[in-house]
Amino acid sequence: MDQQQTMGLMLWPRSLSTQLVLLFLLLLALSMTAFAIHGIMEQSQHRAKHLNLQVQVLARNLAATTADYLLVRDYTSIELALIRSARFPGVLGIQICDGEGKLLGDVVHREGDEPEPRYAQPPLSPPAVAERSVSIDKNIMTVWQPVILGELLGWVKIRYGMQQISQELADVWGNNSMVGLLVLVVSGVLLTLALRRPMESIRAYT
């Protein structure tokens, strides 16, 4: 028997009741971990789907609001509409361009600050097909919404930060870990107390 096996046997308790308690706690911990992971994944998917829908609705409403402004090139009204919409929590920036990608309005929203317009930015590369598109890259959701008023007038582009989902899930995981640890401790104590008399009876007959 090598040294590692010897150390393992020395660390493993010889008491049957302690072995039963440890085995039960191990199975309980594995079960709770699997359940927590499943729940967090479901919650993450539900939250992402909900935010996706919210941002798409925001883009669709903004496209409808600014269609007339695009038609007459009312840049002041376009900018005001973008600033109002950029106050939506999580929005990182909103841009409006014509069908060729030339910027007609550009607003950035930094965390903790009011949305502010930007100027002299390079043109955009809108989708080739006049349909809404959604993509997610590195916790940033990008939504392209066509602005159509009889014909394609331009595009609304919204960038939305999804870091809040990661933070919410981290908080949930932390809370679940604390509750799980408490459950394990209480379960271990109760099981130890419950096994005391049966183990004493077994030892009395052996």
For residue 120, the domain's CATH number is 3.30.450.20
Nearest of 178, 166, 139, 134 to residue 43 by alpha carbon? 166
Structural domain including 117 reads 42-161
Number of structural domains found in the chain: 2
Distance CA 171, CA 22 (A): 28
Look at residue 2 and tell me if it is in a domain: no
Look at residue 17 and tell me if it is in a domain: no
- Left if phi > 0, otherwise alpha if psi is -120 to 50, otherwise beta: which for 101? left
Helices 16-72 & 75-86, crossing angle to 10 degrees? 170
Beta strands (DSSP E) in 12-162 are: 91-98, 103-108, 116-117, 133-137, 140-148, 152-161
- Identify the segments of the chain with pLDDT beneath 70: 1-17, 40, 44, 164-169, 171-172, 195-206
Amino acid 7: pLDDT: 47
Is 141 in the same domain as 178?
no
Is 76 in the same domain as 131?
yes
DSSP 74-95: -HHHHHHHHHHHHTSTTEEEEE
Is 156 in the same domain as 174?
no
Amino acid 8: pLDDT: 47
Look at residue 57 and tell me if it is in a domain: yes
Look at residue 8 and tell me if it is in a domain: no
